[in-house]
Every structure is written in structure tokens, then in C-alpha cells.
Structure 1
Amino acid sequence: MRLYIAGKAPNSVKAIANLEAICRRYLKDGYKLEIVDVCEHPRRALADGVVVTPSLAKLSPAPASNVIGNLSDTGSVLAALGLHAGAME
């Protein structure tokens, strides 16, 4: 996974916290997360086609998917990751 954020913007801070909580609860240690600050690496963001932050990109396994926003909707994040909350409980 790759999370694109915009520095310490409130939604970016929330997205990091929300994603960390989701990963702790549902993924345990079975994930790899890269956080890209588009303020520090604007060319990287543009090369990756990111125009909105925060934005989470699931890169593998295929199919790739994206979630935009502060990641407060756990169900949407899990669906983008190919997981379902009910099955994970």
C-alpha cells in the first residue's frame, strides 16, 4: 500500500491514524505501507498520477485500487483492500 499525504494537513494526519488503526486491527503484520508526502515529493506524486490527498493506493495483490479521503470509513478501506469487516471479526 502507498498512502499519499500533504504534510501535516488535518486530513493527512487523520488518514495516517485511521489507516494505522485499520492495519493493527485487521491486517496485523501482513502488510507493507509506504507513506509519500506530496509536499516533499511532488514529482513522485505527479508521476504516480496522484492529484488529491490523502489518497491510499493498494498496489498488490491485483487488482489495484484507491481510496481518497481521511480513511475514516473502515468499510470502504477494507473493500478497497479486498477484505470484508464481517469476515475479519
Structure 2
Amino acid sequence: MKEIYELRLYVAGKTTKSVNALNNLKKYCEEHLKDQYVIEVIDLLENPQLAEGDQIFAVPTLVKKVPEPVRKIIGDLSNEEKVLVGLNIRPKITQLG
């Protein structure tokens, strides 16, 4: 059985950066973790107390809770390679021919 990735995206409102981060994250997950992920979006404008638990100092921040080790990636997640490395996901190799 494959592991389910539990991902938390911390944002502060619907800023361009936050929306881009979520869209980028969904795209990568669909490409590389099809049916193996859960994304929880936490808006710190609505729930500021939740920042403390994962020690969030900047937004948007992506936190990979499971599988361990816990990893954090700050920013709009536009650099796919950096995100995949940060989440410890090996890109699927597309075969030609």
C-alpha cells in the first residue's frame, strides 16, 4: 500500500501568492501523487493560533506532516523541482517511444 502524503498549506487570505501556491501544489500532487495526498489549507487570518503548532513565520508555507520527516517549504511553490525535492518525491519519468 502506498503512503498518503498529508500536506498543510498555511496562507494569509486569498493573496496572489497564496492562490498560486495552492494551484501549484495541486498540480504537482496530481502529476506525482495521484490519489496519494491530502491537502489541508489553513488561513491564518481566520485561525492565527494555528501558526504556532507548526512554527509558521512566513506565508505561504507548505508543511509535509506525513510521511516523516516533517518538511517546510516557504513561498508560492512555483519551482517544481524545489518542491518535489523538499517533499522527497521522485518525479515520474516519462518514457518515450
Residue identity opposite 1:9 in structure 2:
T
Cα distance in 1 for partners of 2:77, 2:46 equals 21
Calculate the TM-score normalised by the size of structure 2.
0.84
Residue identity opposite 1:57 in structure 2:
V
In structure 1, what is the equivalent of residue 74 of structure 2? 68
From 17, 20, 23, the equivalent of 1:11 is 17
Contact 1:15 1:71 in 2 (8 A): yes
**What's the RMSD between the two structures over aligned residues?**
1.0
The 5 Å alignment of 1:37-48 reads 37-48=43-54
In structure 1, what is the equivalent of residue 85 of structure 2? 79
User: Mind listing any 5+ residue stretches in structure 1 that lack a counterpart?
Assistant: none
Percentage of identical aligned residues: 39
Residue identity opposite 1:8 in structure 2:
K
Cα offset, 1:48, TM superposition: 2.4
Cα distance in 2 for partners of 1:36, 1:9 equals 13
